[in-house]
Amino acid sequence: MLRPMLGHVAETIRVSDMIEITDARANEEVVLCDLSNKAAVEALVAGCDGVLHLGGRSLEDTWEVIRTSNIDAMVNLYEAARNTGKPRILYASSNHTIGFYPQTARLDARSPTRPDGFYGVSKVFGEALASMYHDKFGIETACLRIGSCKPEPENHRMLSTWLSPGDFVRLVERVFTVETLGCPIIYGASANDAGWWENSSVDYLGWHPQDNSEVFRAKLDAAMKHPGSDDPMVRFQGGTFAADRIHED
Ligand code: 15L
């Protein structure tokens, strides 16, 4: 979804996946990589000025899958960054780091985490790892707690969590050009009237989300019923992730 909108951010963009990428664009160079392979990650990161880290498992899963994709892979990424010129990193964290908060709570970057599953716990780990590599080695990371990055909100919860692709790209531009980034927590949501999260601690980035999910409310109201008040989709910020059972091997 983002690749067609990101072409201008660098002269060469090295895109990576575990499976073949067949639609490489003019300034994209493809490097296949399994992020749990330490040597492969080091080769992937070598020579990069910046890393937009969207890899890993992005949904709840067994601990084994989460550990391989989101814990081991993160250590491999940060070790590779430390050994290859310390590129700045934008790390796709998630709203599932705080998913067990009720939807009535209003959060900012200082709110304690309340992960809603193994996946959310792995994202908290990633934020802690980024913080340690910043303090110890000076690697800068934007820890972006993405809400729901979709072309448009798909349900009423996403009226609060929606991050438009355009606002994401505008954030990428700021993260990789601001003089000093540090290692901030950023809530990844557009300028939604129904939003829950406060981002004033990252005003210095100069990121100004422009989109607002409210324009989709009538369409959603017509397409689906509001869930009942005891439904996880209206109780928890993480929605159904908070009600997911533990995934067993
Ligand atoms: C996430 O972290 C997931 O990666 C994504 O698939 C969405 O489900 C999103 O959160 C969300 O909470 O809507």
Contacting residues for 169 by C-beta, under 8 A, at least 6 apart: 2, 5, 6, 9
Query: Ligand 1 site: residues with CB under 6 angstroms?
Result: 58-59, 94-96, 146, 148, 161
For atom 8 of ligand 1, which residue has the closest CA?
148
* Per-residue pLDDT of the chain in tens (249 residues, 90 and over written 9): 999 999 999 999 999 999 999 999 999 999 999 999 999 999 999 999 999 999 999 999 999 999 999 999 999 999 999 999 999 999 999 999 999 999 999 999 999 999 999 999 999 999 999 999 999 999 999 999 999 999 999 999 999 999 999 999 999 999 999 999 999 999 999 999 999 999 999 999 999 999 999 999 999 999 999 999 999 999 999 999 999 888 987
> How far apart (Å, rounded) are the C-alpha atoms in residues 203 and 79?
30
Residues with a catalytic annotation lie at 119
Strands 148-149 and 13-15: unpaired
Query: Of 180, 167, 165, which is closest to residue 207 (Cα–Cα)?
Result: 167
How far apart CA 162 and CA 213 sit, in angstroms, is 7
Distance 162 CA to ligand 1 centre (A): 10
CA atoms of 199 and 195, how far apart (whole Å): 11
- What is the number of the ligand 1 atom nearest to the C-alpha of 239? 12
Q: Which residue has the tokens 């430390």?
A: 82
Ligand 1: centre distance to CA 239 (Å): 10
Pocket test residue of 54, 58, 154, 156 for ligand 1, highest count of atoms within 8 A of CB:
58
Give the global pTM: 0.97
Please give the torsion angle defined by the CA atoms of residues 203, 241, 64 and 150, in that order, rounded to the nearest 10 degrees.
-60
Ligand 1 midpoint to CA 68 (Å)? 19
Residue pointed to by tokens 């913080």: 131
Which CATH architecture does the domain made up of 3-242 adopt? 3-Layer(aba) Sandwich (3.40)
Alpha-carbon distance 153 to 159, whole Å? 6
Question: What is the residue whose two structure tokens read 């159904």?
Answer: 240
Residue nearest to atom 9 of ligand 1 (CA): 148
